[in-house]
Structure 1
Amino acid sequence: MGETGTWHDMSGLTLGPGETSVSVFDLDASSQGTYGLVNVNVNYPNHEVLICDKIELTSGEADTEPPSVPEGPGAEIMPGPQVRLTWNPSSDNVATAGYRIYSGDGTEIGTAPDAVYVIYDVTPGTYAYTVTAYDVPGNESAHSDPLTVTVGSGYVLLLANFGGDESGNRFGIAGWDTVIKDCYTDYRDIGPGGTTVTVGTNGSYDHQGVTGPARAFAPGDRIAVTWHNNSDETVTFVPKISFDDPDRRISGVTGTWHDMSGLTAGPGETGVSVSDFDTSSQGTYGLVNVNVNYPNHEMLICDKIELMIPGQGTDTEPPTVPQNLTAVEIPVVLGYQTGLSWDPSSDNTGADHYEIFRDGVNIADNVTETAYDDSDGLTSQTTYTYTVSACDAAGNCSGQSDPALVTTGGNTAPSLTLTEPDGTDDTAGDTYVITWNDDDPDDNAQISLYYDTDSAGADGTLIVSGLGEDADGTGDEYEWDTSALSPGDYYVYGVISDGVNDPATVYGTGPVTITETVPPPEIVNFTADPETITAGESSTLTWEVINAGTVSIDQGLGSVLLNGSRSISPQETTIYTLTAGGPEGVTLKQSISVFVTTNYPSADTEVKIRPDAIFIDEPEYVMIKVSIPYDAGGDIPSVCLKRVDAEGNLLACEGSLTDDGNADNGDEVAGDGVFTIRKLFSSSVGETIHLRILMTQDSQTAASDIFSLDVFAHLTDAEFDAILALQADAVRNYKELTDSLGKEAARDTVFAQIESDPIVLQAGMSEGGNGIWMLYRCGVLGALRLNVSDILEEEGSLSAPASKKSVRHRMSRKALRGQTDAEEIGNKKAVVLGAFNWQLNQNPLTLGDQSPEIKQFLEDSGCPGFETPIDYLLDGEVTVDVMKTLHHYGVISINTHGNTYYKGLWSLWREKWGWNSEESQVVLFTGQEPTSINFSAYERDLKKGRVAIGRIDETDKPYYAILPSFIRYYAEEGYPDSLVFAGACRSLYNTSMADAFFDKGAKVYLGYYEYTNAAIAKKCGMTFFEKFIADPEIKYADQALIYVQGAVSSVIQIRQRARLALPSSELENGGFETGDLCAWEGSGDSRVLSQFDYIAPVSGDFFGLVSTGLGFSTTSGSVAQKFCLPLNARNLEFYWNFSSEEFLEWCGDIYQDYFRVHIITDSGIYPVFQKNIDDLCGSVRPALLKFDKSSDSCISSAGNDCIVWTTDWKFESADLSEIVAGADQDIPVTIQFSAGDVGDSIFDSAILLDDIRITTGD
């Protein structure tokens, strides 16, 4: 349109996303002339796509020289499959503009601006490619040497990977890049990111997919869809897929929808459903659309859709159908349970797992054994149909097996017989005891008692209701208060009902005759205050008695008045008995004990209370344990829990601690010397509940120290948000004020602002001024780390003042080798924590985090070395929960930020939190950020002063930080003679943190006396571990530390309770004489005991135990240890005791608990010993032990004889010659002792172990 002129073609141009390039036009004889304008037309339909940058005129001779020929062509086969071509860039006299790519027949297939080109969606075959280079005028080089590429068969093509938003979508097939989805379906950045229903919950609306140019889908091709379960419940669903319906399955275009494979995903789990093309579904399609077919709202996230093309190496063959499926009902105490078993399926690559279906519904989709027990939702007198399908690792699943049917039992009517009144001497004054026998196989009946003036009609008056049916069948009784009834005859009857069958009404035999009575004597109260004294102290007896003619107290006090008090001073625990005499010779007695205490030895009587805090108006069970070894042949100690005031005066009795295996009271194993109580506590106010344990045995009484249970108000969201806001504002203000005031004045200004803030109760500064701490009014500690002194940027590092240095750190190597207090690290597990790896690696001056190098030194530590892989956690993985597990490790490397805080904290709070010193507390930061979601998980630790909320000015982020009391509280089993490397500033400014580790069993603690920069810290850590682990001249940790102090910096210090060497290469702690699993790795129910009722160790003081799940544990146990088996090893010797509830009633049955011993090497697993129930049925005897199904309340029924049978201690010697044969050096091995269930998990077995050793010979 407009004026008509002449237009010339410029050179063509191909541009990739975001690229810039040049098109040219050369004037020649036909186009030369005199012009007053240059006008350029893009000649391409676009809207803000192609930007014209500039127009330039160049003069001179024309460029006719082509670029050099591309050299060094190469190819890489990538998933898709794709072929990625590369070559060396070409040179040109002016500039190379781009490259052209040709197929083997000379056809141009594309251009590239740089020396790389990707060919997408390549089908299997062999291809040849060449490349040329061209410049701006269009001069093209000769072809490169041809490159031949072979693409194999069998590959995976990405159809669509949905992102957290639309910009995150990725596609893998050319042209297949248009997303289709429902208007109710949208993107969510949840889990891996993807699409889900975001409006409503209709499962038929949620569809998503991708369209593109039509392509052929052949039999054997597979569509795989990855789903993520974002909910907190397990979801089972069967998605649907269509290749011709672009919208909702139930409306719009009508297409064909196919069922995909079903999927069961637990909370937070990700799984894959598949659809295989066959002859009925093959065809040419231009879309793939997937419907979740499950009602949800942001619950099931569709992550990606992939096309799997079969070929060589692709497994599409399903396993065989499972055969011989059987289903039986398994007797259980409550509810119903069925047991399934079947023959293993075969597969070309091996069956990976089985899926279980009940009445056509998938109830389990990852069963790895050929047996399964089902108890979820079963009801009585119902027939269930089960089938099983086998699946391999490639996701191919067989058809379902032949069905197996099983019918659950019904509910049996209960029965009741009144045994008193029985028609003989049934008279009563103020009370009468009614007795009866009852029976209900289902144990769910309740009993009500009534009285009437006649013996018929069942229309009497209720005495009591809701009495539980007596499970042991030996009868029960109830004391009936008849004091308000007029004299006369009354008939008693009972009603028993289970809520299913008709209630049964039963009368007693004859009436109960109530007579008028004279009031008996009554002891209103008889107390001692205090109830517990030490020798030489006094207690006061106080009493009040009514309706008595005489009153006396024994122990030499004699006759006393009806009311009175008397001071007493017994020298040993004494029982005082008050006797009140009434009319007609009636007497009443009441006794009280005054305990004269001695303290328990602290090593054996540490009281454990978990949790040690509860919340207002939230009743919660609290578990309290204390270890009290005793002679099983004598009297069992009487152990009770007392509520006392802060001075120890008795307020109330809370119950008894037992060692009887009663799980309801919290005790797991009968007779192990650990006494336990599980007590429900509650309070409507914030308070501290003071408690004490009293133990009485053989007339001797002892008392524990007073311990406490705190009652807190919850930390509110508003309080938590205010804490984070104050700390963020403080760091921001400090940084802003530093430029104008300087760092110290800025800190002082911020400190004054914090101190005056209404949410702060107390505030203070760290020694030296590089930190501010605060105690908030809600009872939570806070901490700011500020780099006021600039030490963290200096290239050097502080050295400890001379007054702080210990002479032993400068001892000669000769002197060190002469010391005798040397030990070895107690186990071969190590953990390396790098809480601020991200920060250290951002700053090149810090040389990065030392954690990776320390991990590598530990992994390369030789035979047998530390257990690998080393537990290695960085940044946000270093959580409060991870710090709770440190006692599992022999070597602990913590690389983090640290400081000292809380010097000057009010004594009231120090005493409340059990801090035993007025010095500041060493604080170590985790890598975990406090959030509104996670803070409730750590409320108790925050309120108990074990965890603080801190902020670091360099990172300007909040983090949780732990205090020494945290280490003491969470070291459940103690540290296994551990070495602790605390790579944090001021981690050894004082010994508050070191002492916490030492008190719980650690032996060496290394840290920094003052602040140090990251570069110095890295050199110290790397040098120490390199010398300690790799230098053959250095045996002990303190020797390595002396080298570090001399070569790097003396700011690093050591404290030690013993000299530590690396773990021994030999089998250690085979007699468990450390009193714990030191050197062993325990799994499931594994523990160390000093006694097992009457069973004592073979030698020494302790023995080990693995079981199929005693007490609360339901997981079979094992213990394992890694060590070096010497070349001259001859035998493995050990003592064992197999005790089980399965003897003798399950001999010859499918229930076969076992005991196995294996030695595991790099070349395989060697079974060295195995026994199961049938192997031992002829060599066991009844034991006095009590397990879950053999307690005092056990009833012999359903095949259970209520007896634990035992082999007693047996000696075993296993030949090791096969393992060491042919070896030329010591062999790294792992020895494992394990217990296991076969056929059921109801009846328990326990295997005791002692004196495990390796014998050697020439």
Structure 2
Amino acid sequence: MFRRMEIVLLVVFIGLAVSRCGDDQSETKIEFTTSLIVSPDTVFVGCLNAAECQVTVRITLDRPAAKVFLQRMSSADGGTVLGQVGELVDDGDAAGHGDDIAGDLVYSTIITLNEVSAGYVYLQAVVGDAESSVSSVGVLAHMTDEDWTKVTQTIPDLAKACYDTNPDLNVAKTCIETIDGIRVAGIGEQGSGIWYVYDNGILGGVLPTEIDAPDADSGTDMNRKGGRATSSSRANAYQAPADNRWGQLVAALDEFKDPDAIGSKSAIYLGPYLWDFGAADDYSGAWDLIKKSVCPKFETQEIKNDTNLSRNVTPDSFKNLSNHGIIIISTHGDNWYNGLFSLWNDLWGDQAGTAPNYTIPFFADLSWPVLLTGYKTTDDIGRIYEADLLQHRIAITASRTYVITPAFVRRYNSTFPESIVYLGSCRSAYNSTLADAFLEKGAAAVVGYSDYVYAGWAKRHGEALFGPDPRNFAKNSMLPLTDPDNEKTTVQSIKDAFDDAVANYGEVTNSTAPHGAGDGTNGAYDAADPEPARIVLFPAATKTNLNVPPIINGGFEKGSTAGWTSTGDYRVLSAIGDVTPTDGTFMAIISTGLGTYGGGLTESVVQQTMCLPAKVKSVRFQYNMLTEEAMCWVGSAYDDTFKAELVDKDGVILSEGASESVNSSAWTFLGGDMFADGDDFSTPQKCTDDQGNESYGDGTYHTGWKDGELDVSSHAGTKEPVTLRFRIWDEGDSIWDSAATLDSVELELEEE
């Protein structure tokens, strides 16, 4: 459906608040099934445009409520009520109230915050006597154009000059501390970088080997991922044989479910410096193995910079990593800001805590590992990341490059589906601070490096984690692997794979390993270093593996979209009007563009690729199509359609298990005004179609829940991946919307 799109700040509640009693019209207790989140969680003083002041607030309940109010509080712990600022409604009015779907138990409203000074706004939702947790909205003051240039260009250039002209780190640090606009500086913990903090609280630092252009794409493994380096050679580097068997990573899955498996078959690679690391990048190591895996077949997404002028990777690329079960990040890195936790309040005095940029971002004196994005401050023409800079989620290097901090990971990711995260950068595992940001959000395992490493040393270890040793084709692999001798499948946990990688290539960079330094085993910058770089696994004893079942989250009971990939509008909810899940608490919905997903969207697809074990007979599921087209447009060109299909790797349809359309299906009235900007009648009303015929319609109709089934027996046990696909699309135009709910997607076995 075409409609105007408003840019708003989003507040979403996603945890659990205690309900003490119901509203004043019922004794039934109403509970918040979510807690308060703000996204984005900042507004600016002065409001240069409406988007900087508007805040959309949403909360989900466990049942309908007569009244849900939003109130402003005096402090983060509640304090006193400063007054009501709005009423949250579940009416499907996206433009007016920010509510996407009527009757889905998500209550929303749009408020305007015209703040005159920097600080915080505290909000809380109330239903009767039940109160949600309190959430804060940060209020920031814009930097002037002069200050923006100083922060993003002038000071970084001066800091770089200090570092380049002073080999002694202490002298370089002192030089940086004298720069106008710098409050404090320090040397990276046991490192060769220097960090600093601006007067306005923005974080910065010098990473000396951010760009290693002279040997880019050279095929050597001496490209540095951070820190100072010694010269060396890789003339005798090991090369995988031409007939290596990486492409034979196939397996019959004997068990449908492994409790230690990752929760999604979606994988992503981020490579800001692929142009720099060249053949030594993880792109041609671990990532290549993942792409070539057959069973399971991972749905892969890669974002990379092939040249030094590419800007495909941005800070936004590091958002929503929680959509993936495997995350591979190959970049430069370092660790900064050690000791700032203790210094912060003294440095900013009475300003400390008064606004987001003056609020301490650290939990302890531990340093923060940071990841470079490759995106320059001069690329940020519209100051897109000004708020993130002031909130300490992004820092700036002396080469004018944005870096990601642990605070960024926490802010812009939801719950990871028991993911494996590989951080192929220097010092990414110097301590657990960055790993904790992922683990606290649900990641199951994080691998990184404790110190400065060469790209080739890191690549070799990353490769060994995911695949077998190419020199002797070891029978064990974290990727499901068919042994070429006896077809026996052996699937390792990441812990076992980690131990094998250490055994084959060494745990530390100055160790003497069986295969010698010529293949990247010796990646140390200084062989005499008493604490050389190590490959590190968090948590050390995790059993996480890649033995994923054919169908993940088939009942959508994770309460999230985990396990499925999609285009268009796909989400998980607990109700839409009188339509509730057939089993459990949650169901999925895809649409032609409900609420904020409108604006020209005409088709949505949700799918999952799988290898079908032997003796699988069919894929069974339940579905319900909803539409605003019926009944007025039945028999017309506006024949919105839903289908369930099984397709091969080339997209060829192998079988069809369900098909509904406006013209061919039987419809039952569900309600009116359920979709934003749709029909607004609570009972069927007369309407006239484009042929002048009168009929009763003008509302939202549905087919009711139906059983669907796809015959997959001919593909079971073939080790050929197939994709289960549900899709819905507009036919004729996109004025009225349609949707389909899904539940209980599962495999049916042949009878013994």
TM-score, normalising length from structure 2? 0.75
Which residue of structure 1 aligns with residue 745 of structure 2?
1252
Quote the offset at 1:573 in angstroms. 8.7
Q: Is the contact made by 1:913 and 1:944 (CA closer than 8 Å) also made in structure 2? A: no
Which residue of structure 2 aligns with residue 867 of structure 1?
299
Q: Is the contact made by 1:927 and 1:960 (CA closer than 8 Å) also made in structure 2? A: yes
Q: For the structure 1 residues 1017 and 1104, does the alpha-carbon distance in structure 2 shift closer, same or farther, using more than 3 Å as the test?
A: same
Q: Is the contact made by 1:964 and 1:992 (CA closer than 8 Å) also made in structure 2? A: yes
Which residue of structure 1 aligns with residue 636 of structure 2?
1149
Which residue of structure 1 aligns with residue 503 of structure 2?
1046
Select which of 1061, 1067, 1071 maps to 2:545.
1061
* Structure 2 residue 337 is matched with structure 1 residue 896: no
- In the TM superposition, what whole-angstrom CA distance separates every residue of 1:702-748 from its partner, at most 9, and x where no partner exists? 2313412323223525543454333333333333332xxxxxxx221
Q: Is the contact made by 1:967 and 1:997 (CA closer than 8 Å) also made in structure 2? A: yes
Which residue of structure 2 aligns with residue 713 of structure 1?
142
Quote the offset at 1:857 in angstroms. 0.7
* Structure 2 residue 157 is matched with structure 1 residue 728: yes
- Aligned AA (2:661): N
Select which of 548, 557, 573 maps to 1:1089.
573
Which residue of structure 2 aligns with residue 1204 of structure 1?
700
Select which of 986, 998, 1021 maps to 2:427.
986
Quote the offset at 1:1112 in angstroms. 1.6
Quote the offset at 1:1121 in angstroms. 0.7
Q: For the structure 1 residues 1181 and 727, does the alpha-carbon distance in structure 2 shift closer, same or farther, using more than 3 Å as the test?
A: closer
Which residue of structure 1 aligns with residue 251 of structure 2?
none
- Aligned AA (1:983): G
Q: Is the contact made by 2:422 and 2:448 (CA closer than 8 Å) also made in structure 1? A: yes
Distance in 2 (CA, whole Å) between partners of 1:671 and 1:873 is: 44
Distance in 2 (CA, whole Å) between partners of 1:636 and 1:1231 is: 40
Select which of 182, 185, 188 maps to 1:760.
182
- Aligned AA (1:710): V
* Structure 2 residue 430 is matched with structure 1 residue 941: no
SS of the residue aligned with 2:552? coil
SS of the residue aligned with 2:434? helix
Q: Is the contact made by 2:672 and 2:682 (CA closer than 8 Å) also made in structure 1? A: no
- Aligned AA (1:1041): F
Alignment of 1:971-1120 (within 5 A): 971=413, 973-1026=414-467, 1027-1029=477-479, 1033-1050=490-507, 1051-1056=534-539, 1059-1062=543-546, 1064-1114=548-598, 1115=601, 1116-1120=603-607
SS of the residue aligned with 1:1152? coil
Q: Is the contact made by 1:791 and 1:1013 (CA closer than 8 Å) also made in structure 2? A: no
SS of the residue aligned with 2:499? helix
Which residue of structure 2 aligns with residue 219 of structure 1?
none
Alignment of 1:143-292 (within 5 A): none
Which residue of structure 2 aligns with residue 849 of structure 1?
281
Count of residues in correspondence between the two structures: 622
Select which of 72, 92, 107 maps to 1:661.
92
Unpaired segments ≥5 residues, structure 1: 1-329, 335-533, 536-570, 576-592, 739-745, 797-819, 842-846, 952-956
* Structure 2 residue 273 is matched with structure 1 residue 836: yes
Q: Is the contact made by 1:622 and 1:678 (CA closer than 8 Å) also made in structure 2? A: yes
- In the TM superposition, what whole-angstrom CA distance separates every residue of 1:1058-1112 from its partner, at most 9, and x where no partner exists? 5321152512211111111211112111111122233221111111101121112
Distance in 1 (CA, whole Å) between partners of 2:361 and 2:56 is: 18
Select which of 724, 736, 744 maps to 1:1231.
724
Q: For the structure 1 residues 1128 and 979, does the alpha-carbon distance in structure 2 shift closer, same or farther, using more than 3 Å as the test?
A: same
Quote the offset at 1:941 in angstroms. 1.0
Q: For the structure 1 residues 734 and 791, does the alpha-carbon distance in structure 2 shift closer, same or farther, using more than 3 Å as the test?
A: closer
Select which of 1187, 1195, 1198 maps to 2:675.
1187
Distance in 2 (CA, whole Å) between partners of 1:925 and 1:1100 is: 42
Which residue of structure 2 aligns with residue 45 of structure 1?
none
- Aligned AA (2:331): T
Select which of 670, 676, 679 maps to 2:102.
670
Q: For the structure 1 residues 624 and 1046, does the alpha-carbon distance in structure 2 shift closer, same or farther, using more than 3 Å as the test?
A: farther
Q: For the structure 1 residues 692 and 1237, does the alpha-carbon distance in structure 2 shift closer, same or farther, using more than 3 Å as the test?
A: same
Quote the offset at 1:1153 in angstroms. 1.4
Distance in 2 (CA, whole Å) between partners of 1:790 and 1:944 is: 27
Select which of 1131, 1135, 1141 maps to 2:622.
1135
Q: For the structure 1 residues 764 and 626, does the alpha-carbon distance in structure 2 shift closer, same or farther, using more than 3 Å as the test?
A: farther
Alignment of 1:570-589 (within 5 A): none
Distance in 1 (CA, whole Å) between partners of 2:132 and 2:191 is: 45
Which residue of structure 2 aligns with residue 610 of structure 1?
40
Work out the percentage of aligned pairs sharing the same amino acid. 27
- Aligned AA (2:180): P
Quote the offset at 1:1250 in angstroms. 0.5
Which residue of structure 2 aligns with residue 34 of structure 1?
none
Distance in 1 (CA, whole Å) between partners of 2:303 and 2:410 is: 22
- In the TM superposition, what whole-angstrom CA distance separates every residue of 1:167-224 from its partner, at most 9, and x where no partner exists? xxxxxxxxxxxxxxxxxxxxxxxxxxxxxxxxxxxxxxxxxxxxxxxxxxxxxxxxxx
- Aligned AA (2:169): R
Q: Is the contact made by 2:641 and 2:728 (CA closer than 8 Å) also made in structure 1? A: yes
Unpaired segments ≥5 residues, structure 2: 5-16, 210-223, 234-256, 346-351, 468-476, 482-488, 508-533, 689-695
Distance in 2 (CA, whole Å) between partners of 1:572 and 1:749 is: 61
SS of the residue aligned with 2:457? helix
SS of the residue aligned with 2:722? strand
Q: Is the contact made by 1:1133 and 1:1253 (CA closer than 8 Å) also made in structure 2? A: yes
Q: For the structure 1 residues 1150 and 710, does the alpha-carbon distance in structure 2 shift closer, same or farther, using more than 3 Å as the test?
A: same
- In the TM superposition, what whole-angstrom CA distance separates every residue of 1:90-129 from its partner, at most 9, and x where no partner exists? xxxxxxxxxxxxxxxxxxxxxxxxxxxxxxxxxxxxxxxx
Q: For the structure 1 residues 711 and 1159, does the alpha-carbon distance in structure 2 shift closer, same or farther, using more than 3 Å as the test?
A: same
Q: Judging by fraction of residues, say which structure has more strand.
A: 1
Q: For the structure 1 residues 1071 and 729, does the alpha-carbon distance in structure 2 shift closer, same or farther, using more than 3 Å as the test?
A: same
Q: Which has the higher contact order (CA 8 A, sep 6+)?
A: 2
Quote the offset at 1:572 in angstroms. 8.0
Q: For the structure 1 residues 794 and 991, does the alpha-carbon distance in structure 2 shift closer, same or farther, using more than 3 Å as the test?
A: farther
Quote the offset at 1:599 in angstroms. 13
Which residue of structure 2 aligns with residue 924 of structure 1?
371
Q: For the structure 1 residues 1194 and 679, does the alpha-carbon distance in structure 2 shift closer, same or farther, using more than 3 Å as the test?
A: farther
Which residue of structure 2 aligns with residue 150 of structure 1?
none
Q: Judging by fraction of residues, say which structure has more helix.
A: 2
Select which of 662, 665, 672 maps to 1:1173.
662
Q: Is the contact made by 2:273 and 2:304 (CA closer than 8 Å) also made in structure 1? A: no
Which residue of structure 2 aligns with residue 7 of structure 1?
none
SS of the residue aligned with 1:997? helix
Q: For the structure 1 residues 1086 and 574, does the alpha-carbon distance in structure 2 shift closer, same or farther, using more than 3 Å as the test?
A: closer
- In the TM superposition, what whole-angstrom CA distance separates every residue of 1:959-1012 from its partner, at most 9, and x where no partner exists? 1101111112211x4322211101112212222211221232221111112333
- Aligned AA (1:1046): A
Q: Is the contact made by 2:684 and 2:699 (CA closer than 8 Å) also made in structure 1? A: no
Q: Greater CA deviation, 974-983 or 1229-1238?
A: 974-983
Q: For the structure 1 residues 902 and 643, does the alpha-carbon distance in structure 2 shift closer, same or farther, using more than 3 Å as the test?
A: same
Which residue of structure 2 aligns with residue 827 of structure 1?
264
Quote the RMSD (CA, aligned, Å): 3.5
SS of the residue aligned with 1:1072? coil
- In the TM superposition, what whole-angstrom CA distance separates every residue of 1:522-574 from its partner, at most 9, and x where no partner exists? xxxxxxxxxxxx99xxxxxxxxxxxxxxxxxxxxxxxxxxxxxxxxxxx9899
- Aligned AA (1:883): F
Distance in 2 (CA, whole Å) between partners of 1:1173 and 1:617 is: 45
